[in-house]
């Protein structure tokens, strides 16, 4: 089984590699360090959110409010930054405010899911509606330029280590942390247990409530981080910028091999899924495909990927069910 899990990720990796080769053949620019770094940087926000979404999908839940939460936090810190002095501490304040606001919003989702046993998709649909409505109500959809942000924030957004943007390090850092949580903490294993069999999870004494509060809260936490990352990336705040982005996030997780029915999924897979989406997007641009048609490929890949995964699982199940005929 360990092999099956591995092959799942290897499979995605192989597809990714293949796509990379094809794109390079079409347009060698793809393989330049600058372009690759750009792809990573452009998908840092997607990656961070997808990492959080992975935990939720492993439990069999879903959160369609992530993009709205991220936008809300981005607007909040955008306004906050107008009042912050140009001092390194401001950066800390921005991060702290962002994760606080994000976690709070995530916990609200968790509250309704836990307290009233409302299916996650419905709760987050509701909060999506509320948050995005309120956001547009407050901002009138107005774009907020980064010109008035503290200098230190602009510097931070341009900061590079070994020529690689800080935003990529943020993604890697939180991926690593989340991987560690999943693998080496009781809560991480409880998340898998909950997704595998929620009834048994309660019987062995796992608190479903705590697990759910944690995953939705943690999703909010990462949405806070993603909000800072997004603001740094575009150096502005666009309340409409992430409209519908939640579905791309879910797509990345699912392409990464997580099962929407719960129980399976990994951070490595999700990162590969994110990369695959990012690389395809980049490849289509490099191949000079008319931008209007680009999503045709994305949609087709999603359908084929999930179908392939499903058929693969069915095949393995059929094999396990076989009996010894003599």
Partner 1 sequence: MKLLKTIRLSKENTLGFVLLGMFLLMALFVPNFLSAGNIKNMMFQLPEFGILSLAMMVVIITSGIDLSLTYRAALSGVIIAMALSAGAAIPVAIMFGLLAAVLCGLLNGFFIAIVGVSPILITLGSMILFESISLGLTKGNSVSGFPPEYRVIGNGAVGAVPISLLIFLLVAVITAMLLNRTKWGRGVYMAGSNPVATLFSGINTKRVLLLVYLYGALLTCVAAVIMTSRYNSARVDLGSSYLLQSVAAAVLGGTNIQGGYGKVIGTVYAVGIFQLISSGLNLLGTPRTFVSVLMGVILILVLMMNYYYDKLADKKETAGAAA
Partner 2 sequence: MNHFLEMRHISKTFPGVKALHDVQLLIKPGEVHALIGENGAGKSTLMKILAGVLQPDDGAEIKLDGEAAAIEKPLDAAEKGISIIYQDLSLFPNLSVAENICIGKTFGRSLFSRVNWKTVRETAKKAMAEVGVKLDLNTPAERLSIAKQQMVAIARAIAFQSKLIVMDEPTSALSNTEIEMLYRIIENLKAQGIAIIFISHKLNELFKVADSFTVLRDGNYIGTYESSEINEDKLIALMVGRELVKEKYEKHPTGDSLLEVKCLSKRGNFKNVSFTLKSGEIVGITGLVGSGRTELVQAVFGLNPPDEGEIVLYGKPYKPVSAEKSVKLGIAYVPENRQREGVVLKQSLTNNMTITCLEKLKYRIGLIDFSQEKRLAEYYMESLDIRPRIPEMSAEQLSGGNQQKVVLAKWMAIHPRILIIDEPTNGIDVGAKSEIHRLLRNLAKEGMGIIMVSSELPEILNVSDRILVMRHGRIHGEFSAASATQEMIMSVAFKGKEDEKAESLQNA
CB of 137 to partner 2, least distance (A): 38
| Alpha-carbon gap, residue 273 to 277, rounded angstroms | 6
Q: How far is CA 60 from the centre of its chain?
A: 16
| Residue for token pair 């959160």 | 63
| Residue 187 contacts which entry, partner 1, partner 2, none (Cβ below 5-8 A, type-dependent) | partner 2
Q: Name the binder of 249 from partner 1, partner 2, none, CB < 5-8 A by kind.
A: none
- State the minimum distance, in angstroms, from the CB of residue 14 to partner 1: 20
Q: What's the closest the beta carbon of residue 14 comes to partner 2, in angstroms? A: 23
The Cα–Cα gap between 11 and 269 comes to 10
Of the listed pieces 41-49, 111-119, 183-191, 222-230, which binds partner 2 according to CB under 8 A? 183-191
Q: Determine, following the binding rule CB under 8 A, whether residue 127 of this chain makes contact with partner 2.
A: no
Tokens describing residue 280: 């395809």
210-239 residues in contact with partner 2 (CB under 8 A) are 210-211, 214
Q: Which of residues 141-180 bind partner 2 (CB under 8 A)?
A: none
Helix (H, G, I), strand (E, B) or coil at 121: helix
Q: Would you count residue 264 as binding partner 2 (CB under 8 A)?
A: yes
> What character string, x for contact with partner 1 (CB under 8 A) and - otherwise, covers 147-166?
--------------------
Helix axis angle, 88-116 relative to 66-81, nearest 10°? 150
Give residues 52-91 in contact with partner 1 (rule: CB under 8 A). Answer: 62, 64
Characterize the bridge pairing of strands 236-237 and 164-165. unpaired
- Is 113 within 8 Å of 61 (Cβ atoms)? yes
Pairing of strands 144-145, 236-237: antiparallel
Binding site for partner 2 (CB under 8 A): 1-2, 183-190, 192-193, 195-197, 199-207, 210-211, 214, 263-264, 319-326
């Amino acid at each position: 089984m360990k092999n099956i899990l591995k092959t799942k990720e290897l499979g995605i990796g192989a597809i990714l590699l293949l796509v990379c080769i094809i794109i390079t053949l079409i347009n060698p620019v793809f393989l330049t360090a600058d372009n690759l770094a750009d792809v990573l940087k452009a998908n840092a926000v997607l990656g961070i959110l997808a990492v959080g979404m992975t935990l939720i999908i492993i439990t069999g839940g879903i959160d369609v409010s992530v993009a709205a939460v991220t936008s809300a936090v981005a607007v909040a810190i955008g306004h906050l930054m107008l009042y912050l002095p140009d001092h390194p501490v401001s950066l800390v304040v921005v991060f702290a405010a962002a994760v606080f606001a994000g976690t709070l919003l995530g916990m609200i989702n968790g509250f309704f899911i836990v307290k009233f046993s409302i299916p996650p998709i419905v709760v987050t649909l509701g909060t999506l509606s509320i948050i995005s409505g309120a956001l547009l109500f407050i901002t009138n959809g107005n774009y907020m330029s980064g010109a008035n942000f503290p200098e230190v924030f602009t510097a931070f957004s341009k900061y590079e280590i070994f020529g690689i943007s800080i935003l990529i390090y943020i993604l890697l850092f939180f991926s690593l942390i989340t991987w560690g949580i999943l693998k080496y903490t009781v809560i991480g294993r409880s998340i898998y247990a909950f997704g595998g069999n929620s009834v048994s999870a309660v019987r062995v004494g796992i608190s479903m409530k705590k697990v759910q509060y944690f995953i939705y809260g943690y999703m909010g936490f990462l949405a806070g981080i993603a909000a800072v990352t997004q603001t740094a990336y575009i150096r502005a705040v666009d309340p409409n910028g992430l409209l519908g982005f939640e579905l791309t996030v879910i797509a990345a997780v699912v392409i990464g091999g997580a099962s929407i029915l719960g129980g399976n999924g990994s951070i490595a897979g999700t990162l590969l899924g994110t990369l695959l989406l990012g690389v395809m997007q980049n490849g289509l641009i490099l191949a000079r495909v008319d931008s209007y048609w680009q999503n045709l490929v994305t949609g087709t890949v999603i359908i084929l990927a999930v179908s392939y995964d499903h058929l693969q699982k069915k095949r393995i199940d059929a094999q396990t069910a076989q009996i010894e005929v003599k």
